[in-house]
A and B are shown apart, each in its own frame.
Chain A
């Protein structure tokens, strides 16, 4: 939290390169991921063929340091990619994979794995909760990744399993699996306070990119509701002309607009001034999760009974709005950290 009246720029405009990233990945995901592909990938939520195409687009390598063969793309670029991914709810583990491979690359000591991750040959993921004792935890994308980075009192540890853990079917159709801290071969990468710091910032990155994906989910969910409201008629008018239908949709687009800009602002700070606003990625996730769940429910409800059917595409977005957002745990924990950050400034 900084001085509320500090003289800062508030420039949300994307430059040409950023626009190219957004448009390039937007085109890619729109063309490559029809809703039928999303359905066909259920219940695991992973399409190996699509994953290879995402890798070929450079999405797994772009955000790694140049020293390990990456393009040094920033979190600003990554949130643009993640939003486009969210718009089509692409069944690929890109968010966890990118965050975990950036963490591994910066921590050092796993060069071969980082190279394989950049090439998309190995999927890596991150246990989002600290490991305490022998407690198992649900880890996003661990059903397709045999390399899991976790943090415990011992330090930041790479757990390598012989094969990915068994998938646990879940509402969001994501490759969720139980992670057993005792399983697999363990390599301590970093220890001490530095390890915790790296873990916390990786979790914040995961939350930021997930927030971006949720903005995409919210945007597509809203679009489905709006298109329905324009064409469905009652009492001689399109239902979207009725305030009882239109106003909730107007509220949703308002929430999405704030969520998107908050994601962008948080990504800029995380890239250029990571120490200044560590609370922003958390705020972005809380806001984006709210926008996505609200968008999905309002859009489904706009479509009446039809919006409650499995055939309606809104079902894909409804189930993932919560299914993706809650993977990071209770947002209450983020809210408490956000409040604590404010209190520290007084």
Chain B
């Protein structure tokens, strides 16, 4: 057990200074303004600049496009990126898809893509959810039919966040409608500039942009198939288990909390409310920060973040998301109507951080699979409870 501060070597200290100086330069106010306006979770300038330093895959060897950073320097970089709220959704999906490609893609294709991915010029999004499927990814209906050396795709996907900023989508398709549900799926890496691909924006009240992507007679060469035909479920499991908190390294440096980005967002709102309480008086002239009722409620929220911070894996994801959703609603009440003033409004608290946090929290219970999907996983895999067999558990029910 060890929670000590990490003693940095001279080289690591120099690296920390270098990261800070570089990010000061590239993560400008315009980057944040762009993010507020677009909700893209991506900034091309920042992404390419990070890629240019080898910092998108910082642990990779320099010759592969990485920066060969040791674990401490990787952690320094991750903390600085988080601290500055660098938009990282597409970076995250690219990383996730790469872990699947590395395992299962045609080695020649992977070798071709690797330097481009490292440089930031090639990015990936997730083509997982069918419009009627939601978190039931294995229920995919988007059809892929073989046609010589090609495949023809027809159907649609929802929640393909970042598609308009990516070159490929990692797509789950139905290749054998007669096989059991999980045995008729095949994964593809589909070039998004293929004829027949249409990307339509969907806006969330969390301020994000995601997409619906429509596939009409889209022809894809067989070399873009990832993994064996009808082995799509196994192909997808690698990166999916990564998304669900697996694949992290328990060396005491990495953040193992399954929902640490959610907790960081909640922390920012709590900190803003705490500063507000210290400078704001009630009509009777007393300071909000001296009000024991306010303190009691704030303390409860702080405890929930402290617990979220140390709850690992899928359980941590649920704890962080559900504490954030319940807690931000409470925090808004504690502050009152000022809390709902948006960025740019007269009197908005710290540029509207509370207002934003309240909206953004709501999506966290769905990202990467709903909290209910995770509860099912926890029940089965942590508690050993029996799996519920429903008509669509094993069979593909249309």
Chain A residues within 8 Å of B, Cβ to Cβ: 4-15, 18, 76, 226, 229-230, 237-238, 240-243, 246-247, 249-251, 253-255, 257-259, 261-262, 264-265, 268-269, 272-273, 279-280, 283, 286-287, 332, 334-340, 342-343, 346
Q: Are B300 and A335 in contact (CB under 8 A)?
A: yes
Point out the residue from B1, B6, B297 that lies within 8 Å of A268, measured CB to CB: B1
Q: Are A340 and B3 in contact (CB under 8 A)?
A: no
Measured CB to CB, the closest approach of chain B to A237, in angstroms, equals: 7
Q: Are A11 and B278 in contact (CB under 8 A)?
A: no
Mark the stretch among B126-134, B230-238, B309-317, B353-361 that contacts chain A. Answer: B309-317
Q: Report how far A259 CA is from B298 CA in the complex, Å.
A: 19
Q: Report how far A240 CA is from B297 CA in the complex, Å.
A: 35
- For the complex of A and B, the 10 pairs showing the least CB-CB separation, nearest first, are A11-B252, A335-B299, A258-B307, A261-B310, A240-B385, A258-B311, A246-B379, A339-B299, A339-B298, A250-B378
Q: Report how far A48 CA is from B271 CA in the complex, Å.
A: 50
Q: Could you list some 19 contacts between A and B, CB below 8 A?
A: A8-B5, A9-B3, A11-B1, A15-B1, A226-B385, A230-B386, A240-B379, A241-B387, A246-B375, A246-B388, A250-B318, A250-B383, A253-B315, A255-B319, A258-B308, A258-B316, A332-B299, A335-B303, A342-B274
Q: CB-defined interface of B303-335 with A at 8 Å, one 1/0 digit per residue?
A: 100111011100110110000000000000000
Q: CB-defined interface of B370-393 with A at 8 Å, one 1/0 digit per residue?
A: 001001101100111111110000
Chain B positions within 8 Å of A337 at CB level: 299
Chain B positions within 8 Å of A14 at CB level: 1
**Total A-B Cβ pairs within 8 A:** 187
Chain B positions within 8 Å of A286 at CB level: 299-300, 303
Point out the residue from A12, A246, A255 that lies within 8 Å of B385, measured CB to CB: A246
Measured CB to CB, the closest approach of chain B to A311, in angstroms, equals: 24
Chain B positions within 8 Å of A76 at CB level: 1
Q: Are B378 and A253 in contact (CB under 8 A)?
A: yes
Q: Are B250 and A13 in contact (CB under 8 A)?
A: yes
Measured CB to CB, the closest approach of chain B to A198, in angstroms, equals: 24
Known: A249-B383, A250-B379, A258-B307. A335 touches B252 (CB 8 A): no
Q: Are A253 and B383 in contact (CB under 8 A)?
A: yes
Q: Are B386 and A240 in contact (CB under 8 A)?
A: yes
Chain B positions within 8 Å of A265 at CB level: 3, 310
Measured CB to CB, the closest approach of chain A to B80, in angstroms, equals: 8
Q: Report how far A255 CA is from B375 CA in the complex, Å.
A: 12
Q: Report how far A190 CA is from B82 CA in the complex, Å.
A: 47
Measured CB to CB, the closest approach of chain B to A143, in angstroms, equals: 31
Q: Are A226 and B308 in contact (CB under 8 A)?
A: no
Q: Are B1 and A253 in contact (CB under 8 A)?
A: no
Chain A positions within 8 Å of B316 at CB level: 257-258
Chain A positions within 8 Å of B385 at CB level: 226, 229-230, 238, 240-241, 246, 249
Point out the residue from A262, A336, A343 that lies within 8 Å of B274, measured CB to CB: A343
Q: How many chain-B residues does the 8 Å CB contact rule pick out?
A: 63
Measured CB to CB, the closest approach of chain B to A20, in angstroms, equals: 14
Task: Indicate if B336 sits at the interface (CB-CB under 8 A).
Answer: no
Q: Report how far A273 CA is from B275 CA in the complex, Å.
A: 26
Q: Report how far A24 CA is from B137 CA in the complex, Å.
A: 45
Measured CB to CB, the closest approach of chain A to B130, in angstroms, equals: 22
Q: Report how far A12 CA is from B248 CA in the complex, Å.
A: 14
Measured CB to CB, the closest approach of chain A to B198, in angstroms, equals: 37
In chain A, what residue has the closest Cβ to B277?
A343
Measured CB to CB, the closest approach of chain B to A257, in angstroms, equals: 5
Q: Are A250 and B382 in contact (CB under 8 A)?
A: yes
Q: Are A9 and B4 in contact (CB under 8 A)?
A: yes
Q: Are A8 and B3 in contact (CB under 8 A)?
A: yes
Known: A230-B386, A268-B1, A283-B303. A5 touches B376 (CB 8 A): no
Q: Are A343 and B289 in contact (CB under 8 A)?
A: yes
Q: Are B299 and A338 in contact (CB under 8 A)?
A: yes
Known: A10-B253, A343-B277. A18 touches B1 (CB 8 A): yes
Q: Report how far A113 CA is from B389 CA in the complex, Å.
A: 63
Measured CB to CB, the closest approach of chain B to A82, in angstroms, equals: 15
Q: Report how far A257 CA is from B381 CA in the complex, Å.
A: 14
Q: Are B375 and A242 in contact (CB under 8 A)?
A: no
Q: Are A255 and B296 in contact (CB under 8 A)?
A: no
Q: Report how far A229 CA is from B383 CA in the complex, Å.
A: 10
Chain B positions within 8 Å of A339 at CB level: 274, 294-296, 298-299, 302
Known: A9-B4, A343-B289. A261 touches B388 (CB 8 A): no
Point out the residue from A4, A7, A10, A258 that lies within 8 Å of B264, measured CB to CB: A4
Q: Report how far A253 CA is from B318 CA in the complex, Å.
A: 11
Q: Which of A10, A283, A286 has the most CB of B within 10 A?
A: A10
Q: Are A261 and B275 in contact (CB under 8 A)?
A: no
Point out the residue from A9, A240, A242, A336 that lies within 8 Å of B6, measured CB to CB: A9
Q: Are A10 and B319 in contact (CB under 8 A)?
A: no
Task: Indicate if B75 sits at the interface (CB-CB under 8 A).
Answer: yes
Task: Indicate if B76 sits at the interface (CB-CB under 8 A).
Answer: yes
Q: Are B388 and A241 in contact (CB under 8 A)?
A: yes
Chain A positions within 8 Å of B275 at CB level: 346
Among B255-299, those with CB < 8 Å from A are 255-256, 264, 267, 270-271, 274-275, 277-278, 289, 292, 294-299
Chain B positions within 8 Å of A237 at CB level: 386, 388-389
Measured CB to CB, the closest approach of chain A to B187, in angstroms, equals: 29
Q: Report how far A327 CA is from B21 CA in the complex, Å.
A: 52
Q: Are A254 and B319 in contact (CB under 8 A)?
A: yes
Measured CB to CB, the closest approach of chain A to B13, in angstroms, equals: 11
In chain B, what residue has the closest Cβ to A286?
B303
In chain A, what residue has the closest Cβ to B83?
A5
